[in-house]
Amino acid sequence: MAQAWAFFLLALFSFSSCVSKLFICSRNGEGSFLCTRSQEVPSIASKRYRTAYHFQSPKNWINDPCGPMYYNGIYHEFYQYNPGGTIADNIVWGHSVSTDLINWIQLEPAIVRDTPYDINGCWTGSITILPGDQPVIIYTGRDSKDHQSQNIVLPKNRSDPYLREWTKADNNPRILPVGPGLNSTEFRDPTTGWIGPDGLWRIAIGAELNGYGAALLYKSEDFLNWTRVDHPLYSDNAPSMWECPDFFAVLPGNNGGLDLSAAIPKGAKHVLKMSVDYSDKYMIGVYDLKRDAFVPDVVLDDRRLWLRMDYGTFYASKSFFDSKKGRRIIWGWSNETDSVSDDGVKGWAGIHAIPRTIWLDSDGKQLLQWPIDEIESLRKDEINHQGLELKNGDLFEIKGIDTLQADVEVDFELASIDSADPFDPSWLFDVERHCREAGASAKGGIGPFGLVVLASDNMEEHIAVHFRVYKSQKSHMILMCSDLRRSSLRSGLYTPAYGGFFEFDLEKERKISLRTLIDRSAVESFGGGGRVCITSRVYPVALADDDTVHMYAFNNGSTTVRVPQLRAWSMMTAQVNVIQG
Ligand SMILES: OC[C@H]1O[C@@](CO)(OC[C@H]2O[C@H](O[C@]3(CO)O[C@H](CO)[C@@H](O)[C@@H]3O)[C@H](O)[C@@H](O)[C@@H]2O)[C@@H](O)[C@@H]1O
C-alpha cells in the first residue's frame, strides 16, 4: 500500500559527521530505512579530472620519472610509459622536452622494447652528463624471464636540440645481476653517476641483497664497463627491495643545488633516497670517502620512522642538478587512486607532481621542498586577505579565484601556544591513523586549522588540509593531515587521511605556513615551509558535474588563530604534451 511507505529526502550535513552524504531514504512497513544515493554519479571519464598544469601524457599509462636533465638550453623529462594502454605493461621510455619545466612537448619514445634483454620492459634509470657534454642513459632492461640488467643508451645526434633519437650501446647488457647475494628479478633503477676521489665513476643500483633492501655500488673508468664494489653504498636490516634509489649532496640551510660530480664543499651532507613500502623515504648522512659508503646520521631500525619525501601519493622520485639555475629539482610520480577499470575508462593514468626545488634545512635534520618558481608564471586573479582572525568553529570562504585550479599561500599565526596538547611519540608509527582519529572536526587545544578545498555546496564532498600543534619534551610537534575520506561520493576510490609530523620551534617562530596547489584531481600541499609535503589524488563528483566548488580557511581548535596574510591565485592551463593539430 502506497501510504504504508513514507518517502522523504534526507540531506544530512555536518562538518563533524562521517555520515554526511545525500541519500534518498524510504521506510518500509516494518519501520526500517532503505537508503540509496540520490545522485547519479557522473562518469569518471569526465575530462574535468585531467590536470591542467601537472605533467601527464595525453593518454595511456605513465609512472616513474627517469632521466630528468637540463642540456643545451632544454629540459628533458623521460618517464615510464605504456604507449598502448592505461595499465603498467609494455613499458618504454617516454620523452618530453620543455624550456620552462611547465609547458611540455611530447616526442617519440626514446627507448623501446626491441632487444631480448629489454623485451619485457625498458624500466627505470637515469641520465649522467659526462665530460665533453656527453649525456648517457643507464636503464634497467627486463628480459622474457624477468631477469633484470643495466644497459647504456646514447643520443644519436647531439646537435639535435631535442635529442629525439637514442641508440642502444653495443655490448649491452652492461651490468648483470651476478654475484653473491643477488636476486636477478630484484635488480634495477640505476642512479645518476658521480665521480669518486679516485676519478672513477660510481652508480648505485636498487636491489635485494641477501633478502634485504640495498643500494648496490658499482665503479667504472669509462661509464661502460662496471665492477661491483664488495659492499653496498648502504643496505637495510629488513626485507623489501629498494626501488629507485637517488643519491645527492646538499648544504645545510642553502637552497642552491650541488652537482655530485663536482667538488663537494665542506660541511655538505649526503642524502640517500629509496622507494619502499609504497613511499619515498630518505636518510641524511655523510659519504665516507675512505669506506666508499654512505653513513647515516641517525639509524632507525623501524622503517615506519624514516623521513619521507612526501606523505601522500608520491613514488619513484628522481632529482637532478639544474645547471641553468644552480638548484636541485625533484620529480615524483603520483599514481591514480581510482580503480584500474576507471583508468581504462578515463584513457589515462598517472601524473608527475609539480617539480620541486629541494634543499636541506639549516639544522641539517630534514629536507625542505618547494614548487619551482616557474609555476608562479601560471598565476592570475590574485586575491589577498590580511589580518583575519579564526576563532573556534570559524569557516572563512576564499572567493574570487578558480577553485579547481588554484595556488593558495596562507600563514597561520598562533596568539598563544599554552594550550597545546601533549605529544605521544607512539603516533609516529601510524600517522594516518592519528589523522583519522584527530580529524578536521575533532577539537584540540591548538588546531585543527587549515584549508578546506574542492568542497561541494553542502560540504558533503570536501578535502581538509590541516594542522594540529602538540607540545613535545623538547619543542613542538606539528601534525599535518590531508584528509580525503570525504573527498568524493564516488565509490571504489582510495581515500585515506594522509599525515606527517614535523618538529617546529614555536617559541622562535609563531607562524605555520601552508601552500596548497589545487589542480582538479591533484592537491599538493606544503606545510611549514616545505617540511611536510602531501600529494593527494581526488575525484569529487561536484568537479565532474561542473558544480561550483568552494575553498575555505577554518579553525576548529579552542585557541584562536590569526591569519596575517592569505594570498590565492587562479592557475592558468599549461601546454602539457598537447597533441598537435
Ligand atoms: O611491465 C610492468 C609490469 O611489471 C610489474 C610486475 O613486475 O611491475 C613492475 C614493477 O613496477 C614498479 O617498479 C618501478 C617503480 O615504480 O617501476 C619501474 C617499472 O615501470 C621499475 O623500474 C621500478 O622499480 C613496482 O613498484 C614494482 O613492484 C614492480 O615490480 C607489473 O606490476 C606490471 O604490470
- What CATH number is given to the structural domain containing 106? 2.115.10.20
Claim to verify: residue 345 and residue 439 sit in the same structural domain: no
Claim to verify: residue 194 and residue 63 sit in the same structural domain: yes
Cα of 240 vs centre of ligand 1, distance in Å, is 14
Claim to verify: residue 306 and residue 413 sit in the same structural domain: no
The CATH number that applies at residue 549 is 2.60.120.560
**Which single residue is written with the C-alpha cell 608527475?**
352
Q: Is 64 in the pocket of ligand 1 (CB under 6 A)?
A: yes
Q: Is residue 11 part of a domain?
A: no
Q: Is 242 in the pocket of ligand 1 (CB under 6 A)?
A: no
Q: Is 292 in the pocket of ligand 1 (CB under 6 A)?
A: no
Pick the residue whose CA is nearest to atom 3 on ligand 1. Answer: 89
Q: Is residue 366 part of a domain?
A: yes
Q: Is residue 139 part of a domain?
A: yes
CB atoms within 10 A of CB 445: 18
Q: Is 91 in the pocket of ligand 1 (CB under 6 A)?
A: yes
Strands 348-349 and 60-65: parallel
Instruction: Give the list of residues 6+ apart from residue 132 with CB closer than 8 angstroms, or none.
Output: none
- Which three cell numbers, joined as nine digits, stand for 200? 672513477
Domain boundary among 338, 371, 404: 371
pTM of the model: 0.93
Cα of 234 vs centre of ligand 1, distance in Å, is 22
Claim to verify: residue 156 and residue 276 sit in the same structural domain: yes
| pLDDT for the residue 39 | 56
Cα of 192 vs centre of ligand 1, distance in Å, is 20
Claim to verify: residue 341 and residue 393 sit in the same structural domain: no
Q: Is 335 in the pocket of ligand 1 (CB under 6 A)?
A: no
- Residue 31 gets the label, from left (phi > 0), alpha (psi -120 to 50) or beta, of left
Q: Is 188 in the pocket of ligand 1 (CB under 6 A)?
A: yes
Domain boundary among 336, 371, 406: 371
Claim to verify: residue 329 and residue 388 sit in the same structural domain: no
Q: Which atom of ligand 1 is nearest to the CA of 206?
A: 24
Residues of the chain with pLDDT under 50: 1-38
Q: Which of 270, 315, 308 is nearest to 289 (CA)?
A: 270
Q: Is 189 in the pocket of ligand 1 (CB under 6 A)?
A: yes
Q: Which atom of ligand 1 is nearest to the CA of 243?
A: 24
Q: Is residue 404 part of a domain?
A: yes
Pick the residue whose CA is nearest to atom 20 on ligand 1. Answer: 123
CB atoms within 10 A of CB 40: 8
Q: Is residue 289 part of a domain?
A: yes
Which of helix, strand or coil describes residue 93? strand
Pick the residue whose CA is nearest to atom 9 on ligand 1. Answer: 88
Q: Which of 411, 375, 408 is nearest to 518 (CA)?
A: 408
Q: Is residue 198 part of a domain?
A: yes
Q: Is 281 in the pocket of ligand 1 (CB under 6 A)?
A: no
Q: Which atom of ligand 1 is nearest to the CA of 275?
A: 15
Claim to verify: residue 365 and residue 330 sit in the same structural domain: yes
Note down the domain range covering 510: 384-573
Q: Which atom of ligand 1 is nearest to the CA of 188?
A: 22
| pLDDT for the residue 263 | 86
Counting ligand 1 atoms within 8 A of each CB, the residue from 62, 124, 139, 333 with the most, and so the one to mutate, is 124
pLDDT in tens, 444-501: 999 999 999 999 999 999 999 999 999 999 899 999 999 999 999 999 999 999 999 9
Claim to verify: residue 274 and residue 175 sit in the same structural domain: yes
Pick the residue whose CA is nearest to atom 2 on ligand 1. Answer: 89
Counting ligand 1 atoms within 8 A of each CB, the residue from 60, 64, 333 with the most, and so the one to mutate, is 64
Cα of 209 vs centre of ligand 1, distance in Å, is 18
Instruction: Give the list of residues 6+ apart from residue 270 with CB closer than 8 angstroms, or none.
Output: 247, 248, 249, 250, 284, 285, 286, 287, 294
Counting ligand 1 atoms within 8 A of each CB, the residue from 61, 137, 243 with the most, and so the one to mutate, is 243
CA distances (Å), origin 215, targets 228, 235, 240, 381, 469: 11, 6, 12, 47, 36
- Which three cell numbers, joined as nine digits, stand for 445? 587545544
Claim to verify: residue 287 and residue 419 sit in the same structural domain: no
| Burial class (CB within 10 angstroms; exposed 0-12, middle 13-18, buried 19+) of 378 | buried
Q: Is residue 217 part of a domain?
A: yes
Claim to verify: residue 105 and residue 173 sit in the same structural domain: yes
CB–CB of 109/118 below 8 Å? no
Claim to verify: residue 354 and residue 411 sit in the same structural domain: no
Claim to verify: residue 389 and residue 342 sit in the same structural domain: no
CA distances (Å), origin 169, targets 73, 110, 136, 139, 533: 25, 14, 10, 12, 39
The number of domains in the chain is: 2
Q: Is 208 in the pocket of ligand 1 (CB under 6 A)?
A: no
Q: Which of 259, 240, 239 is nearest to 249 (CA)?
A: 259
Q: Is residue 365 part of a domain?
A: yes
342 belongs to the catalytic site? no
